[in-house]
Structure 1
Amino acid sequence: MASQPQGDTYLSPTVFLTITSLTPRITPTAPAPVICPSHTTPRRLTTKIDLHLVPFVIILYLMAFLDRVNIANARAFGLETDLGLSGTQFNTALTIFFVPYILFEIPSNILLKKISPRIWLSGCCIGFGFITMMQGLVQNYAGILTTRFLLGLFECGMFPGCFYLLGMWYRREEAQKRFSLFFSSTSLAGAFGGLLASGLGSMDYMRGYRGWRWIFLIEGAATVVIGAIFLFTFPGFVEEAKWLRDDERDYIKARLHADQGHSAAERSITLKDVGKVMSDYKVWLGGFMYFGIIVPAYSYAYFSPTIVQSYGYDKIQTQLHSVPPWAVAFVFAMVIATASDWLKHRFLFTVLPICISISGFAILLNVHDNLPVQYAALVLICMGMYSAMPIQVCWFNMNLGGHHRRAVGSAWQIGFGNIGGIIATYSFVGGDFRKGYIICVSFICLSALSCIIYAVSIMAENRKKANQTLPEGMTEQEKAELGDLNPDFKYML
């Protein structure tokens, strides 16, 4: 017999929650009160979760994104010339990364649930760190294709896995700051990657290795060390957290239950679950939201050093000038996330940054002889895209109820969305930047349209649920199986 909490009433400083004893297929009995542990407060406990969870996922994804996009920095230090790449071969090397990355997102989240985040994500971290090192040793086109494919295979679980893990710890109104802080590790990776590349690139020909090889070797080795440490320290789900007392664990589960319903964490995810999730049209809208913004986001990540270099900067100055847009994006993303959590609203905070990015592309399409204005446009593009993306993912993920719907839905959004990464790798071919800008604007408009349709859809669903009555005798277990389709679940706009 399992016990599941059901209410959430705050009487500061003591917080009372209700917990209901459940037996499958039997109507719940009268609720019994559960008191927030007397040795702590809700704020202190949330801070404790932050300290034990957020730094780990930030570092993990920072290393994953750094190892993914450092090929753009390596390109500026002669990778193409040394490997004899010509035509669109560099673009193809970028593209092949996304093949396993897209195909194995959902299987990865299922394995994460089965094996545990600590073992699965840490093991993947060691894997993609080792493959990054191998990129520094390749000698030809076939070698770079092979390592990029394997890199995508090991990295596929990082992003959806970390978002899935975060979503199972926080209530919806407090999640966005944590999601954006985690996601903004991409901005930190972009900024840090530029600074690091400028230093490692200066090691050109040291011990017979070109500068671009040192970028891969040293950054990959650092990732392997971090992954090995995480094998013993990385956090898991609430049910697995040994750093929580039993009464703290009960309180956290009760609080999440009151916000999102019973998570059904005790059962495995089946193919039937996958089919049910994928039959929901809102899940497809979540995929298109992310798909649309991935194209300009990856286009910027992979080709901004090339664009900056076209402004006449040398190799080192190119890397240094790639840092400020990422730094501004990090600060702006956190401002947007804080405002979004404070107002408990997502939609407008998704559309506003998208409009900022569109304005940046509009400047680049019309201004061709003013470097300060063109560089400022790159800042607008970066800060807009990398602020909107975490809002979109958090908004969609936290509107999915239950372990099985969130595991499948989050992996689907990221997996389908990253098809846009393939398009992005061919957006800027040769020196035709204008064509690339037009492609990026088109897809970011698709993302905005998908956000609007999704917002309208969940408002309609909330109105429909408001007029519904719960079936007589419906148990908590039955509600858990429905997830966010449960009539009690209200979507956040």
Structure 2
Amino acid sequence: MADIRRSDEKDEGVTEHVEDGGLKTDIVGVNENHLPEYHDKETQRILRKVDIRLIPMLTMLYVMSFLDRSNIGNANIAGMSEDLGLVGNQYNICLMVFFFTYALLEVPCNMMLKILRPSTWICIMMVSWGIIMTLQGIVQGYHGLIATRVMLGVAEAGFFPAASYLVTTWYCRFEVQRRLSVFYSASALAGAFSGILAYGIQHMDGAGGLEGWRWIFILEGLLTVAIGSTLHWTLPDSPETASFLQPWEREVLVRRLAEDAGTADGHVEMHDSFQWSSLKGPLTEWKLYLCIFIWWGNAIPVYGFTYTVPAIIVGLGYTSAVSQLLTVPLYISGVISVISISWLADKKQVRWSFVTYPYLVAAAGFLALLAIPHPKYPGLTYFFLFFIPIGIYPSLISLCSWIGNNLAPSWKRAIGMAMVVSGGNLGGLVGSNIFLSSQEPKYPLGYGLCFGMCVLASAGAVILKFGHQRVNKQRDAMTVQEIREKYTEQELMMMGDKSPLYRYVI
């Protein structure tokens, strides 16, 4: 694990008092650089300002993102398939095509994030997918629905990796996961909100001569456009340009990020320019391919679960409207799980165990659902459905934080995170095709495959742990003097996480 200097472990140097508007903080000098303490009261006050401005905004945006891609499940049980004349596996194909463009475009989108201002790029994406969602409400058949789902994947492709990367540019390594958990829990909130919203909107059946399920798409799409249009002015881009912070507050954030770059005896380049090695590095990193496989342990179950859980509850004997409401407690349990586990992971400064063990909880739920003789015990089935969001949501956010913690410099982190999200979300192609209507209410293929993926993903996290530990041990065997005799300071900075001074988070 990285050797992180805390506020009570000051290096020798000059202490500089910086005052602004009556506020004062101590900045401890290390060699020629003045670096701030991590846990002094003024730094915490600055972080609270960032939290208030950045995290609620990203949370709201992710609610809209996940809502707009998953509300098709709510629309389906409100009569969409019947009205559009979908037959056989056509509904599953409509779910699946979203992931082709969604996954393939995530790396180029995160490269655009490094070229444009994040607020500008995310604004463009959000307005685009809101328009497409609105148009999805007026499609007249199977081919129209296919077209809007493909284009929705294009428009939404860059949001999650962009938002995740943006968080890592504001916070130190063991401050990231609890922040990511808040905005990622929006996916669970979106599931809960989607059920409540769909319950109300589907009662608009006949308004304007349109079916109720069409209004689900239209109203949610228009809301997305309205919110997205404000982002150029409301979403902060970086600590260096944050207008809501005083100049000295921006300097504190920038300097503490430089200190927490993964190396106790050097620095990592935080504002590197694009080079072809920035693309080659992630593409040749075996650990990122393992992360993609671990991500599938989330992507396959979460998309299968999200798209199918309303139908599963209908199969327990409830009406469509009541089933919409009964999805809400499931997603709320996911929110509680991801936030509490992420808080603990940052406190313990560990990642691997908070990937592995929640996956095993989800695996236990899928195994139980596979064994229950449906629909004989509806209460027991509903109980074990809670194991799914409780297990798979925190596993993913722990993995996402782990990836962001261990990639440097900045271009490699942006491309590497997008690459894993891209490859990982290909699991949605599988997840959207394993809960087959012909197998309801038992869903042996869906429950069985999700169980196996959770177990394998859990094992993959253990392998990744040992891989990082092995590299850290090899680097520990070298002295700082030996390393500096072999490499220049500039070479060490540009090497990023490949620098022998760098230590991986475990």
Equivalent position of 1:225 in the other structure: 226
Listed as ranges, the matches of 1:349-360 within 5 Å are: 349-360=354-365
Q: Does 1:405 align with 2:412?
A: yes
On the 8 A contact 1:133/1:218 being kept in 2, the answer is yes
Alpha-carbon separation, structure 1, partners of 2:413 and 2:154: 22
Question: How do residues 73-152 of structure 1 correspond to structure 2 at under 5 angstroms?
Answer: 73-152=74-153
| 1:285 paired to 2:295 | no
Gap change, CA 1:436 and 1:171, over 3 Å in 2: same
Question: Which residue of structure 1 aligns with residue 334 of structure 2?
Answer: 329
Q: What is residue 173 of structure 2 aligned with on the other side?
A: 172
Question: Deviation per CA, 1:197-224, whole angstroms, max 9, x where unpaired?
Answer: 0000111111211111000000010000
Counterpart for residue 25 of structure 1 = none
Select which of 468, 473, 493 maps to 1:458: 468
Any gaps of 5 or more consecutive residues in structure 1? 1-5, 20-29
Corresponding letter in the other structure for 2:294:
M
Separation in structure 2 between the aligned mates of residue 57 and residue 476 of structure 1, nearest angstrom: 36
Q: CA deviation at 1:32?
A: 4.0
Match of 1:365 in 2: 370
Q: After superposition, what is the alpha-carbon deviation per residue over 1:371-393, rounded to whole angstroms, capped at 9, x for unaligned?
A: 11110111111211112111111
- Match of 1:101, SS state, is helix
**Preserved contact between residue 116 and residue 236 of structure 1 (Cα < 8 Å):** yes
RMSD between aligned alpha carbons? 2.0
The residue number in structure 1 matching 2:394 is: 387
Distance 1:263 1:160, change over 3 A: farther
Contact 1:102 1:418 in 2 (8 A): yes
Q: Secondary structure at the match of 1:243?
A: coil
Tell me, in whole angstroms, the C-alpha distance in 2 between the residues paired with 1:426 and 1:274: 32
Please give the alpha-carbon distance, in whole angstroms, between the structure 1 residues aligned to 2:465 and 2:168.
20
Preserved CA contact (<8 Å) 1:130 1:220: yes
Inter-partner Cα distance in structure 2 for 1:272 and 1:492: 23
Task: Give the superposition deviation at 1:321.
Answer: 0.7
Cα shift at 1:51: 1.1
2:60 equivalent in structure 1: 59
Q: Which residue of 1 aligns with 2:18?
A: none
- For 1:161, the equivalent position in structure 2 comes to 162
- Displacement of 1:173 after TM fit? 1.3
1:268: Cα distance to partner?
2.9
8 A Cα contact 2:357 2:458, kept in partner: no
Name the structure 1 match of 2:381. Answer: 374
1:416, 1:159 → 2: CA distance?
A: 13
Aligned equivalents of 1:153, 1:35: Cα separation in 2: 42
Question: Cα deviation per residue 1:226-250 (whole Å; 9 max; x = unaligned)?
Answer: 0011122111122232222222222
Distance in structure 2 (CA, Å) of the matches to 1:197 and 1:380: 24
TM-score by length of 2: 0.90
Contact 1:7 1:17 in 2 (8 A): no
Q: CA shift at 1:399, angstroms?
A: 1.4
Give the match for residue 495 of structure 2: 482
Question: Does the Cα contact within 8 Å between 2:330 and 2:389 map onto a contact in 1?
Answer: yes
Amino acid at match of 2:314: Q
Give secondary structure in 1 for the equivalent of 2:91. Answer: helix
Structure 2 CA distance for aligned equivalents of residues 230 and 249 of structure 1: 21
Q: Superposition pairs for residues 263-342 of structure 1, below 5 Å?
A: 264-342=269-347
Paired residue secondary structure (1:242): coil
* Residues 102 and 156 in structure 1, CA contact (< 8 A), matched pair in contact too: yes
> What residue in structure 2 maps to residue 182 of structure 1?
183
* C-alpha separation in 1, matches of 2:111 and 2:478: 33
2:481 maps to 1:472: no
Tell me the equivalent position of 1:441: 451
When structure 1 is superposed on structure 2, of 118-127 and 434-443 the one drifting more is: 434-443
Cα distance between partner residues in 2 of 1:309 and 1:481: 55
Question: Shift of residue 81 of structure 1?
Answer: 0.9
Kept after mapping to 1: 8 A contact 2:63/2:186: yes
Quick one: structure 1 residues 396 and 32, their matched pair in 2 at CA, closer, same or farther if it must change by over 3 Å?
closer
Distance 1:164 1:357 in 2: 27
Moved more, 119-128 or 10-19: 10-19
CA contact (8 A) 1:8 1:18 kept: no
Match of 1:416 among 414, 419, 423: 423
1:29-69: CA deviation from partner (whole Å, max 9, x where unpaired): x42435679x9711101111111211111111110000000
Show CA shifts across 1:159-215 (max 9, x none).
000000001111111111101111100000000000000000111111211111000
Alpha-carbon distance between aligned partners in 1 of 2:149 and 2:75, rounded to the nearest angstrom? 14
Task: State the Cα distance separating 1:447 from its structure 2 match.
Answer: 1.2
In structure 2, what is the equivalent of residue 68 of structure 1? Answer: 69
Aligned equivalents of 1:275, 1:234: Cα separation in 2: 31
The whole-number CA distance in structure 1 between the counterparts of 2:175 and 2:271 is: 25
* Matches of 1:84 and 1:263, distance apart in 2: 57
Q: State how far apart, in whole Å, the 1-side matches of 2:93 and 2:423 are.
A: 19
Paired residues of 1:203 and 1:214 also in contact (CA < 8 A): yes
Paired residues, number: 477
CA change 1:374–1:71 in 2 (3 A) is same
1:62-108 per-position Cα deviation (integer Å, ceiling 9, x unaligned): 10000000000000111111111111111111111011111111110
Moved more, 76-85 or 233-242: 233-242
Shift of 1:342: 1.2
The SS at the match of 1:322 is helix
User: What is the deviation of 1:332?
Assistant: 1.4
The corresponding residue for 1:192 is 193
CA distance in 2, matches of 1:32, 1:417: 40
| Deviations, residues 349-400 of structure 1 (Å, cap 9, x unaligned) | 2122111111111111111221111101111112111121111111121111
Identity %, equivalent residues: 33
